[in-house]
Chains A and B, each alone.
Chain A
């Protein structure tokens, strides 16, 4: 199985501030995709952002951006202007394998 490492079990951020969630891959694939998902307490999985490993520019989707450093095999998620509704679990799977995730709590 491909290994995914999310080193932050839990994170706190003040509302309206930016936060970075870490993710590193251990893969030998030459071409791969980087994905981030959000899982609120309701349990649904919500797709946030995608970037291909050969994409030259980091992906951005609204308040979400992906900071991809290929040599380090890291694909960190940056959430700008945090909102209370951002409180959730966040996952960066490698293909269909999920790491431990990061629990983000946004404080008012």
Chain B
């Protein structure tokens, strides 16, 4: 299957700093990537859809200025948590489809990034 790599797996930062998480499709081109946030023992909450060459589409209630998404190339999307605060601590995970998502295309997930803001 296709491979999606996410980095870093773990990150601890001080309150007020910004953290960048990278999501790469290693063996396929991803025009679309999805970013999720997951609280402990809860489901994956879609934050935004990252589109190569255009602006990301954010889900309702997600702060665009807090969670900056850039889809710089067909293999790389980044999520930057700006001015992080303890309430931003969470598990963030990205995914990308190789085909028509939800119809014939399964989602390939990165390993996830666990963010802890002190």
- A interface list, Cβ under 8 A from B: 29, 31-33, 35, 37, 43-45, 47, 50, 52, 91, 93-101, 103
Contacts and interface: CB of A to CB of B under 8 A. Distances in A.
Main secondary structure of the interface of A (DSSP, over half): loop
Contacts of B109: 44-45
B50 to A, nearest CB: 11
Contact of A96 (B43, B46, B91, B112): B46
Given A45-B93, A52-B103, A93-B102, 14 more contacts: A32-B103, A33-B103, A33-B105, A35-B107, A43-B38, A43-B93, A43-B112, A45-B95, A47-B106, A50-B106, A97-B46, A98-B36, A99-B43, A103-B41
B34 interface: yes
A33 to B, nearest CB: 5
Q: Which 10 A-B pairs have the closest CB atoms?
A: A95-B102, A45-B109, A98-B44, A43-B112, A98-B43, A33-B103, A96-B34, A101-B43, A47-B106, A100-B43
Given A43-B93, A43-B111, A91 B104 contact: no
A95 to B, nearest CB: 3
Contacts of B46: 96-98
Interface residues of B, number: 27
Residue in B34, B44, B46 whose Cβ sees the most chain A Cβ within 10 Å? B44
Nearest to B109: A45
A33 B104 contact: yes
B47 to A, nearest CB: 11
B103 A91 contact: no
Nearest to A100: B43
Interface in B73-118: 91, 93, 95, 97, 101-109, 111-112, 114
A94 B102 contact: yes
Nearest to A9: B41
B114 A91 contact: no
Contact of A32 (B1, B91, B102, B112): B102
